[in-house]
Amino acid sequence: MTGNNSPHPHFDDRGTLSWHTRLEDAKAQAQAEGKKIFIEFGREL
């Protein structure tokens, strides 16, 4: 992970991962860092 951690959009995960709400942003970061993408899908209650 780079120094630009993005917080989870719905809860405090204490900086575990860098979260994105746009797929294109996630793809760009994953490609730059040679990592895979985890997609979380759900709905906010």
How does residue 4 score in pLDDT terms, banded at 50, 70 and 90?
A: low
pLDDT tens per residue across span 7-36: 777 777 777 777 888 899 999 999 999 999
Sketch the domain layout of the chain as residue ranges. 7-39
**pLDDT computed for residue 36 by the predictor:** 94
Query: CB-based burial of residue 13 (10 Å sphere; 0-12 exposed, 13-18 middle, 19+ buried)?
Result: exposed
Torsion, Cα of 26, 24, 3, 44 (10° steps): -60
**pLDDT computed for residue 3 by the predictor:** 47
Mean pLDDT (whole number) for 39-45: 75
Entry pTM: 0.62
**pLDDT computed for residue 13 by the predictor:** 74
